[in-house]
Structure 1
Amino acid sequence: MKIYLVGGAVRDQLLGRPILERDYVVVGATPEQMQQLGYQQVGKDFPVFLHPESKDEHALARTERKQGQGYTGFICDFAPSITLEEDLMRRDLTVNAIAQDEDGTLIDPYHGQQDLNARVLRHVSDAFGEDPLRVLRVARFAARYHHLGFTIAPQTQSLMQRMVDDGELATLTKERVWQEIEKSLKDGAIEVFSDVLASLNALSLVMPWQNTWTTDDSQRLKACTSKLDKQDDDYLLTSFALWQHRAQLNGYNLEQDFKIPKAYSEALRDLQAALPLLHSDDWQTHTIMQLFSALDAWRRPQRLILMCKAARTLSDKLAQRCDMLTQAHRLGAKVNAQEVIALGFKGPQIKTEMDKLKTQAISALFEG
């Protein structure tokens, strides 16, 4: 039995990037042997085991044979006789098909190091075309490593185009598509992800509501997201909202139809609802109050904060208005319901009177 470090850990180690997780392939072992050594099996479709101490994933070397359409129609073989080279051949890109043994020696049968040095994303074999999910993965890697100068090999681009033209992307589940989108959002260059899919005429297949994508869209998004703090807890939500705020949703329910989490779809809806008011030439106290009402900002101030984080990146004008919104909310929040009740107001009158007092407080921002 031999154990090799594989995939992303080897790739990122060679690129000098932080290693976030370590995956291993095990050659010459059976599931029973792994369990006897204390490994915990977690995979159902194929044997994947957790190391008894480190909990790193260890997968038995395997080969795959395509059966049917889509990315789940595979028959896998995990016989102990399967070699490391056979296992690496089934991987998507050459840069992900490099292994390292326990002594640190690299095993690179498909010239992944050469492609790393050349900054090229190239498929390992024609088996790439059997899994439509790999179209999204390559778009994601192209985005992740764009700042390092990586490009997609022309042959791989052509293969991806054939997969799109053959309708393979239609077999992907909405949940799996979203996982790739969210991973690309985390990487911080979602505009490149969109550029790649748009170049394949595949963006509308992944996100039907986003039926246009231009170079200007890409440049504007990059300019906006570059102003965000990637360490901020709201980075993913704000970058998603900025990415999609120009899209015409046309009745699409992102949560139900595309399995996009509520926090993301709400961030997008709030930004789209707020922008007409933020851009309004009639920027007055009543406009601010209308915006606060649309965002339910008195009860859920975090929605206002999140919207402003995104909106303020769009222009200096909107940044100034978001600063004003913050001040206005602070003034309005000082209005105390108990004091209004003490004045004798009851039921619906309480909210009406509080809105009057909040309006008076906020109007001070427009005086002088």
Structure 2
Amino acid sequence: MKTYIVGGAVRDAMLGVPVKDRDYVVVGATPEQMVAQGYLPVGKDFPVFLHPQTHAEYALARTERKTAPGYKGFVFHTDAAVTLEEDLIRRDLTVNAMAQQEDGTIIDPFGGRQDIERRVFRHVSPAFAEDPVRILRVARFAARFPEFSVAPETNALMHNMVEAGEVDALVPERVWQELARGLMERMPSRMFAVLRDCGALKCILPELDALWGVPQPEKYHPEIDTGVHVMMVVDYAAGQNANLPIRCAALLHDLGKGVTPPDQWARHHGHEMHSERLVDAVCKRLRVPNDCRDLALMTAREHGNVGRALEFRAATIVTLFERCDAFRKPQRFLDMLMASECDHRGRTGFEEKPFPQRAYLQQALAAAQTVNGGGIAATVRERYPDQPQRVPEAIRTARVKAVAATVKEDATEN
């Protein structure tokens, strides 16, 4: 029985990247032998065991056979006779198909070390085409290691998989899982570039794919192309270490521009409304978690209003707070402001331009939050016991006055 470190831990060590998790493969053992040595079985599809002391995962070397479409259509086989090379050949990329012996010796039967030196993602074998999740994984790795390119033959293979309909077999939860992980990497735009290059983005997120080639007014968008802009926005959010909901909102905020008629490309009038509708459809289809969905919907609807906030009177600002439920969920509103700033800065030449709207609305919200709604409600109910509608009116009036005093404006309704 021999044990090897495999996969990402070997790759990351070669790249000088901190190794977070180590995966182990055991060759020449049976499940019974593992249990006899104190390992705890936990695998469902194939034998995986927890080390009795470290609780690290150890998987028996295995082979696999495609039996049905999609990423679940596999039968796994484990046996003491399965070799390390047979286990490694079933992996996706050469950079992930290396192993390290206990003495530190690297076993590299498929040229992973050379591909790391060349900064290339290359599939190990034609078996790559049997699992559509691997397309998403390659794209995600590209976001993590943006200096890597996809080998032409691997891109061609992924394109063939898309043409064969393999991507259509992916379940929504798995698509979102991989997209979410890619969004949290160093350069998310690389993930979408890889998906576009092989044609998968059109299948997975057609609403996003439609943005490339759609122009915007050069005065506000020197990069012109909407798809390019959205990628700049997402990368800016990543550079700010934004959380996942903000990055998701950055990705989806301009979907409506993809359905604007060409004769309206000069303004994209009303694109926020279309964006909100398309974001809702995408989130339902991919079963996006509520926190990401809600922030993406709000950002799609309101990012234009945030950009115009310096022109608003106090009453209009309070209406914005009310519409966004900012008094009950202030952090979500603040996240929307950050997503809107990412939208502003994700443009050629705008990266360092000021965006005072964010601080302006933060200050206004803080002022409105100082209003003692409970105290006002009690006073109004005592004075007008038969007119409960006066309570929200009085609270709103107080909030408008508080915002007006802070932003140095008249509290007149706008």
- Which letter does structure 2 place at the counterpart of 1:279? G
Q: How does 1:34-53 map to 2 (within 5 A)?
A: 34-53=34-53
Give percent identity, aligned residues only: 41
Contact 2:252 2:300 in 1 (8 A): no
CA contact (8 A) 1:313 1:319 kept: no
Matching residue within 399, 403, 406 for 1:358: 399
CA distance in 1 between partners of 2:103 and 2:84 (Å):
16
Change in CA separation of 1:88 and 1:339 when aligned onto 2, cut-off 3 Å: same
| Aligned positions of 1:14-163 closer than 5 A | 14-146=14-146, 149-163=147-161
Partner of 2:104, secondary structure, is: coil
Superposition deviation, residue 366 in structure 1: 3.8
Whether the 8 Å contact between 1:277 and 1:287 is mirrored in structure 2 is: no
For the pair 1:367 / 2:412, whether they are aligned, the reply is no
Aligned to 1:200: 198
Question: Match of 1:301?
Answer: 330
| Counterpart selection for 1:342 from 361, 379, 383 | 379
Q: Matches of 2:384 and 2:356 in 1, distance apart?
A: 36
Deviations 1:163-210 (A, max 9, x none): 000000011111111111111012132211111111222213112432
Q: 2:162 touches 2:200 (CA, 8 Å); kept in 1? A: yes
TM-score under structure 1 length normalisation: 0.93
2:302 is aligned to 274
Shift of 1:257: 2.5
TM-superposition CA deviations, 1:70-89 (whole Å, max 9, x none) = 11111211011010001000
CA contact (8 A) 2:95 2:115 kept: yes
Superimposed CA distance per residue, residues 337-363 of structure 1 (whole angstroms, 9 cap, x where no aligned partner): 243123535533221101011111212
Matched positions, count = 365
DSSP-derived class of the 2:18 partner: coil
Counterpart code for 2:118 = A
* Separation in 1, partners of 2:364, 2:354: 15
Q: 1:345 to 1:125 in 2, by over 3 A?
A: farther
Q: CA deviation at 1:48?
A: 1.1
Q: Which residue of 1 aligns with 2:361?
A: 325
Residue identity in the other structure for 1:367: E
Match of residue 220 from structure 1: 229
Tell me which of 255, 259, 271 is aligned to 1:247: 255
Cα distance in 2 for residues equivalent to 1:269 and 1:366:
31
Q: Counterparts of 1:225 and 1:201 in 2: how far apart (Å)?
A: 20
Q: Give me the whole-angstrom Cα distance separating, in 2, the residues matched to 1:229 and 1:70.
A: 31
TM-score (norm 2): 0.83
Per-residue displacement from partner, 1:122-179 (whole Å, max 9, x unpaired)? 0000000111111111111112111xx2100000000000000000001111111111
CA distance in 1, matches of 2:158, 2:356: 44
State the distance in 2 between where 1:221 and 1:278 align: 17
Q: The residue matched to 1:63 in structure 2 has which SS?
A: strand
Q: What is the letter of the counterpart of residue 158 of structure 2?
A: M
CA displacement at 1:5 relative to structure 2: 0.1
Comparing 28-37 with 104-113, greater Cα deviation is found at 28-37
Kept in 2: contact 1:192–1:218 (CA 8 A): no
- CA distance in 2 between partners of 1:314 and 1:256 (Å): 24
Please tell me whether the aligned partners of residues 284 and 366 of structure 1 are also in contact (alpha carbons under 8 angstroms). no
Q: C-alpha separation between the residues in 2 aligned to 1:24 and 1:218?
A: 41
Aligned amino acid, residue 154 of structure 1: P
Q: Secondary structure at the match of 2:26?
A: strand
Q: Please state how far the C-alpha of 1:223 moved relative to its aligned partner.
A: 3.9
The runs of 5 or more residues in structure 2 that have no matched partner are 214-224, 257-274, 346-352
Q: What is the CA RMSD across the aligned residues, in angstroms?
A: 2.1
Q: Following TM superposition, by how much is the alpha carbon of 1:311 offset from its aligned partner in structure 2, in angstroms?
A: 0.9
Q: Does the 8 Å CA contact 1:191/1:218 hold for their aligned counterparts? A: no
Secondary structure at the aligned position of 1:75 is classed as: strand
Output the amino acid matched with 1:333.
Q
The 3 A distance-change label for structure 1 pair 309 and 156 is: same
For the 8 Å contact 1:311–1:319, the answer to whether it is kept is no
The letter for the 2-side match of 1:55 is H
Query: Once the 2 structures are TM-superposed, how far is the Cα of residue 228 of structure 1 from its aligned partner?
Result: 4.0
Whether the 8 Å contact between 1:312 and 1:318 is mirrored in structure 2 is no
What is the CA-CA distance between 1:224 and the residue it aligns to? 3.3
CA distance in 2, matches of 1:162, 1:193: 18
Q: Which of 258, 264, 287 is the aligned partner of 2:292?
A: 264
Residue 348 of structure 1 aligns to which amino acid in structure 2? Q
More displaced stretch, 77-86 vs 204-213: 204-213
- Which whole-Å CA distance do the structure 2 matches of 1:40 and 1:312 have between them? 50
2-structure distance, mates of 1:18, 1:67: 37
Q: CA distance change for structure 1 residues 283 and 196 in 2, over 3 Å: closer, same or farther?
A: same
Distance in structure 2 (CA, Å) of the matches to 1:257 and 1:229 = 25
The equivalent residue for 2:267 is none
